[in-house]
Structure 1
Amino acid sequence: MAAAASVTGRVTWAASPMRSLGLGRRLSLPGLRLEAVTAAVNPTLSDHGNGLGRGARGSGCSGGSLVAGWGGGAAAAAAALALAPALSAMQRGSSESELAARWEAEAEAVAAAKAAAKAAAEAEAEATAETVAEQVRVDAGAAGEPKCKAGEEQPKAPAPAQPSAAEEGDTQVLQRPPPTLPPSKPKPVQGLCPHGKPRGKGRSCKRSSGHGSGENGSQRPVTVDSSKARTSLDALKISIRQLKWKEFPFGRRLPCDIYWHGVSFHDNDIFSGQVNKFPGMTEMVRKITLSRAVRTMQNLFPEEYNFYPRSWILPDEFQLFVAQVQMVKDDDPSWKPTFIVKPDGGCQGDGIYLIKDPSDIRLAGTLQSRPAVVQEYICKPLLIDKLKFDIRLYVLLKSLDPLEIYIAKDGLSRFCTEPYQEPTPKNLHHIFMHLTNYSLNIHSGNFIHSDSASTGSKRTFSSILCRLSSKGVDIKKVWSDIISLVIKTVIALTPELKVFYQSDIPTGRPGPTCFQILGFDILLMKNLKPILLEVNANPSMRIEHEHELSPGVFENVPSLVDEEVKVAVIRDTLRLMDPLKKKREN
């Protein structure tokens, strides 16, 4: 399984700039496996459930390894209430075609305005060049001979004195002709580049190729500081090598273009470049904070945010949890729910357990130990080979203002290692049946390591979609629903993320720009509805797995499935964030 065919195997390396084509069309980066569905012309995010789904269904199976889910204006990113006009319009019954037509017209108007602005800028640049050139000619004349008045002839320069043959005695002096010098290239005049165009900030003489140029036209590669990459280092090294960029594994005294951190970013010594972490992201996607953010949106737009299970925060809402569960049971005696308890700071399945009733003794212990979130357990998940599985999807948050989101077109499907049964008091403790965490199931005797993308206990998500498609499932609809889930989740987090960002990197103060790869854990229900389980600020980018040689003795073995997916995500993320490419485009 070659790394070059990673994610979907649909890779074309012909470089091309991204062009905004409006709602429902792709922002095509043929060199990347990137695909975009955008409504950037609509700052109120009216694409929810309409244009967004239309665009996603139209472009969900081709292109790059990432999908640009949405690029919104600052208004949409700044306040969740910006959703209100669009959602209320949808509730009034606005049709998809009407919305799409209106947004298409807006996109064309924006494109025309941009074209006019570009033409005006080019005309202004040409006029500036002419003015500067004329000034240079005037300055050159002022430094040389004085100007003649009208009607006067230009005074001729006196002929050089000829030496007399009688000088220095009677010996004849032979005059040597002046040496012939090679024509010198005109030096660039201050204010003009060698091609006669005006210099200025962001304006430079274009070259035929290369990211940047040093002396003699040599290319300057993008520089990446990988000294703090940690577990993502192997995948990052492969990506840098494929891009022919320059890695600094031990850091660098001079600034780098990109700094790659394995965990949270808090480095006040970095004043430029780009860092792959947003300030505050780790805090924002913790289970309690995420639940509060999504629940706020559920209160405002319950139909739009029904992809997140009912949640209660412990210990603060324990009494509310008990009361609401009892109220539902009184209304429907046949309701026999199961709940899953997740510690707030837990990871890799640590501390997660299932209960059938709020009076469970383990829940009492949780109340006294650490904060947690308790959620209604999804009892009817989609099964493959009689096994429960979830999806790890990688999402690139490229920018907060404007909001730009890219979604990986492929991810990982992590399988349980014990055939699934609906929860009962007898099987609640069977973690290999109910919990899909890779870090738990790898210790099961039934865990299957495989180099195939479509078998084993860890597979590519694209292989799952292919299998569902062979059974007649509308995978474009599934993909569209997943994209909608991701976008709405990021929007719920964005207001507080901007507060964190502006606190750490205030406007006007030197500092790096940020981007981040997030890991979305998604469960498909039996009816194919996607459910958000959690969001990871630091998803594992390891491309190897542990292999047990003997009891208690492990070695790290390359995982081709992980490499196929993760290297593509990191490589295409780097290409999207290429700072020298941005300078050339500007």
Structure 2
Amino acid sequence: MNKRAAVGYGAGGGKGGTRRGAGLGEGGQGNANRVIRFRCGFTNTILDVLRNRGWNHVTEEGADWDFYWCDVGWMREVFDHCYMDEGARICHFRNHYELTRKNLMVKNFKRYRKQLEREAATAGGKSEALKMDFYPPTFELPTEYHMFVEEFKKHPSATWIMKPAAKSQGKGIFLFRKLKDITDWKKNSVYKPASQQNHQDSQGEKEAQVETYVVCKYIDNPYLVGNKKFDVRFYVLVCCYAPLKVWLYREAFARFSTVRYNLESIEDNVVHLTNVAIQKLAPDYDPERDCKWSFASLKRYLTAKHGNEEVAQLMREIDELVIYSLKSVQKIIINDKHCFELYGYDIMLDTAMKPWLLEVNASPSLTASSPQDYELKYRLLDDMVTVIDMENRLTGKEKRIGGFDLMWHDGPVLVNDGGVEYTSAPGHCTNSFLGCSNENRQKQLKQMMRQANIAKRHNNPTQPNQNTSVQQSAAAGVA
């Protein structure tokens, strides 16, 4: 008896159910000619991508599916109570929040850093913990309030930023410089979970439990372009945590504030937060002007100002930021062969061109803010689905799939002409191309599919030719 039958859950969407997927993905064995059944909990770009691949969109309550793009609420409420067949795939890991919830992310970073320090002390070598220096001093409130106060007193002139641990789009964030601002803030109902703001016991005396926040030292020397602050959003696809397998997407973008940076006006979030949801609140916001810049353009700008060497060092540090952030949760995330995760990483640069990790998003926005944004996100998602390989068309040895480059597979992946190679020695170029050209994407996909088809036919002469249907699938995407 499976879990679904044991608890009486229905199939398909809603409250879970059985999954009869037959494809294994990423070079697994399955039927390449079957029609994939998918469910999708969103009506934005991802739905367009899945429909254009010729898959069958199942919407009936109780219908089986092979691929489900669900929200994190479904994972929390249903995942543990449903049975999924061999080839079914779903877009989150069970406890993804260990990396994407702000307080848990920092907790895991601190724990992993201490682990690396202990290992270095035992081995008598150079500590890898130095690689974890990509996040500012951060504390969870209210549990670490006294630790925060001690750190606060060491930096009396510093600016600090408060963030709700489990909210997004800039909700509930504010900057401060005085401890009394915390006292005033605690009296405000914003500090309490919405579900508990008006809760009282029968005597009307029980105070609601406070909402968890994180407070971190504000990076007050951001790198500016045109005197405006920006952050960078890029995308990381994790197909497996055991072993860790990481793909980095080439295309990314910088999000700019619409107003000039001014540290004196700490009460104005439009100056300090670059989220589109916040920038829309600016009085002179123009929806026709997309406040975004491709990372390729930003990279060219930085190269012109600082030279190739400094930009190459920045890219190496971004690679390390990605890998060490994922390694910090590798043994904590519940690995499941049905699960994958497309993370949205948000970083910012300071005046020394040092990257700082702001947050990692489990559900990065897939709603386009402009035609160019739609095209980028369409390419991203279409390539992501190709990597997942529900149709079983790949060999599993690919190092580039469209705009995705395999940067880590139980070790760093190197740039070379042969197969996947790994090394821990310094001085090697890893297989990551963030900000590099993706213009030959369609050509690369077609060539890769032809090579994969030839390899599979060589290994299995009775296998039918899949090349034509693959090229049609690739051509359906936005170029």
- In structure 2, relative to structure 1, the CA distance for the partners of 1:224 and 1:390 (3 Å cut) is farther
Q: Would you say the 8 A contact 2:229–2:274 is kept in 1?
A: yes
Paired with 2:58 and 2:292, the residues of 1 have a C-alpha distance of 30
Paired with 1:362 and 1:435, the residues of 2 have a C-alpha distance of 22
- In structure 2, relative to structure 1, the CA distance for the partners of 1:251 and 1:529 (3 Å cut) is farther
What displacement does 1:471 show?
2.7
Alignment match, 1:487: 323
Paired with 1:473 and 1:442, the residues of 2 have a C-alpha distance of 35
Alignment match, 2:299: 465
Paired with 1:254 and 1:341, the residues of 2 have a C-alpha distance of 44
Paired with 2:60 and 2:184, the residues of 1 have a C-alpha distance of 47
Paired with 2:45 and 2:56, the residues of 1 have a C-alpha distance of 13
Q: Would you say the 8 A contact 1:391–1:414 is kept in 2?
A: yes
State the TM-score, normalized to the length of structure 2.
Answer: 0.63
What displacement does 1:256 show?
3.7
Within 5 Å, which residues of 2 pair with 1:306-321? 306-321=133-148
Secondary structure at 1:565 match in 2:
helix
Paired with 1:225 and 1:325, the residues of 2 have a C-alpha distance of 50
Q: Would you say the 8 A contact 1:390–1:522 is kept in 2?
A: yes
Secondary structure at 1:278 match in 2:
coil
Match of 1:234, as an amino acid? N
Paired with 1:212 and 1:253, the residues of 2 have a C-alpha distance of 24
Within 5 Å, which residues of 2 pair with 1:254-403? 255-264=64-73, 265=75, 266-267=78-79, 268-272=81-85, 273-299=88-114, 300=117, 301-326=128-153, 328-329=154-155, 336-360=157-181, 361-365=183-187, 366=191, 369-403=210-244
Q: Would you say the 8 A contact 1:312–1:373 is kept in 2?
A: yes
Secondary structure at 2:255 match in 1:
strand
Secondary structure at 2:140 match in 1:
strand
Q: Would you say the 8 A contact 1:258–1:275 is kept in 2?
A: yes
Q: Would you say the 8 A contact 1:225–1:251 is kept in 2?
A: no
**Deviation digits for residues 540-568 of structure 1, max 9, x if unmatched?**
1112x4xxxxxxxxxxxxx2132122111
Count of residue pairs the alignment pairs up: 330
Q: Structure 1 residue aligned with 2:367, among 537, 542, 545? A: 542
State the TM-score, normalized to the length of structure 1.
Answer: 0.52
Paired with 1:456 and 1:403, the residues of 2 have a C-alpha distance of 36
Q: Would you say the 8 A contact 1:305–1:488 is kept in 2?
A: yes
Q: Would you say the 8 A contact 1:225–1:252 is kept in 2?
A: no
Paired with 2:270 and 2:349, the residues of 1 have a C-alpha distance of 18
What displacement does 1:224 show?
4.1
Structure 1 unaligned blocks of 5 or more: 1-200, 203-210, 214-218, 330-334, 506-511, 546-558
What displacement does 1:354 show?
0.6
**Deviation digits for residues 425-468 of structure 1, max 9, x if unmatched?**
xx110111111121111121333435xxxx74123222222222
Match of 1:528, as an amino acid? M
What displacement does 1:227 show?
3.5
Within 5 Å, which residues of 2 pair with 1:154-303? 212=31, 219-221=33-35, 223-228=36-41, 230=42, 233-242=43-52, 244-250=53-59, 255-264=64-73, 265=75, 266-267=78-79, 268-272=81-85, 273-299=88-114, 300=117, 301-303=128-130
Q: Would you say the 8 A contact 2:51–2:57 is kept in 1?
A: no
Q: Structure 2 residue aligned with 1:406, among 232, 241, 247? A: 247
What displacement does 1:355 show?
0.9
What displacement does 1:581 show?
2.2
**Deviation digits for residues 324-353 of structure 1, max 9, x if unmatched?**
322x25xxxxx6100001111221111111
Secondary structure at 1:312 match in 2:
strand
Secondary structure at 1:494 match in 2:
coil
Paired with 1:338 and 1:464, the residues of 2 have a C-alpha distance of 27
- In structure 2, relative to structure 1, the CA distance for the partners of 1:252 and 1:477 (3 Å cut) is farther
Match of 1:257, as an amino acid? D
Q: Structure 2 residue aligned with 1:518, among 327, 331, 343? A: 343
- In structure 2, relative to structure 1, the CA distance for the partners of 1:448 and 1:582 (3 Å cut) is same
What displacement does 1:234 show?
3.3
Deviates more, 1:436-445 or 1:268-277: 268-277
- In structure 2, relative to structure 1, the CA distance for the partners of 1:236 and 1:463 (3 Å cut) is same
- In structure 2, relative to structure 1, the CA distance for the partners of 1:400 and 1:421 (3 Å cut) is same
Q: Would you say the 8 A contact 2:258–2:282 is kept in 1?
A: yes
Q: Which structure has the greater CA radius of gyration?
A: 1
Q: Would you say the 8 A contact 1:460–1:561 is kept in 2?
A: no
Is residue 229 of structure 2 the alignment partner of residue 419 of structure 1?
Answer: no
Paired with 1:411 and 1:320, the residues of 2 have a C-alpha distance of 36
What displacement does 1:421 show?
1.7
Paired with 1:252 and 1:317, the residues of 2 have a C-alpha distance of 45
Paired with 1:293 and 1:384, the residues of 2 have a C-alpha distance of 33
Q: What RMSD, in angstroms, separates the aligned Cα atoms of the two structures? A: 2.7
Is residue 383 of structure 2 the alignment partner of residue 572 of structure 1?
Answer: yes
Q: Segments of 4+ in structure 1 off by > 6 A? A: none
Paired with 1:539 and 1:370, the residues of 2 have a C-alpha distance of 23
What displacement does 1:260 show?
1.6
Secondary structure at 1:471 match in 2:
helix
- In structure 2, relative to structure 1, the CA distance for the partners of 1:363 and 1:296 (3 Å cut) is farther
Secondary structure at 2:232 match in 1:
strand
Match of 1:516, as an amino acid? E
Alignment match, 1:435: 273
Paired with 2:275 and 2:322, the residues of 1 have a C-alpha distance of 20
Q: Would you say the 8 A contact 1:354–1:428 is kept in 2?
A: yes
Alignment match, 1:110: none
Paired with 1:491 and 1:277, the residues of 2 have a C-alpha distance of 17
Paired with 1:256 and 1:443, the residues of 2 have a C-alpha distance of 40
- In structure 2, relative to structure 1, the CA distance for the partners of 1:362 and 1:441 (3 Å cut) is farther
Match of 1:294, as an amino acid? F
Paired with 2:307 and 2:157, the residues of 1 have a C-alpha distance of 30
Secondary structure at 2:143 match in 1:
coil
- In structure 2, relative to structure 1, the CA distance for the partners of 1:362 and 1:345 (3 Å cut) is farther
Q: Structure 2 residue aligned with 1:560, among 355, 364, 371? A: 371
Q: Would you say the 8 A contact 1:392–1:519 is kept in 2?
A: yes
Match of 1:464, as an amino acid? L
Is residue 393 of structure 2 the alignment partner of residue 581 of structure 1?
Answer: yes
Paired with 1:582 and 1:429, the residues of 2 have a C-alpha distance of 52
What displacement does 1:363 show?
4.5
Secondary structure at 1:279 match in 2:
coil
Secondary structure at 1:523 match in 2:
strand
Paired with 1:320 and 1:257, the residues of 2 have a C-alpha distance of 48
Alignment match, 1:444: 282
Q: Would you say the 8 A contact 2:164–2:172 is kept in 1?
A: yes
What displacement does 1:270 show?
4.3
Q: Would you say the 8 A contact 1:418–1:446 is kept in 2?
A: no
**Deviation digits for residues 127-172 of structure 1, max 9, x if unmatched?**
xxxxxxxxxxxxxxxxxxxxxxxxxxxxxxxxxxxxxxxxxxxxxx
**Deviation digits for residues 172-213 of structure 1, max 9, x if unmatched?**
xxxxxxxxxxxxxxxxxxxxxxxxxxxxx99xxxxxxxx946
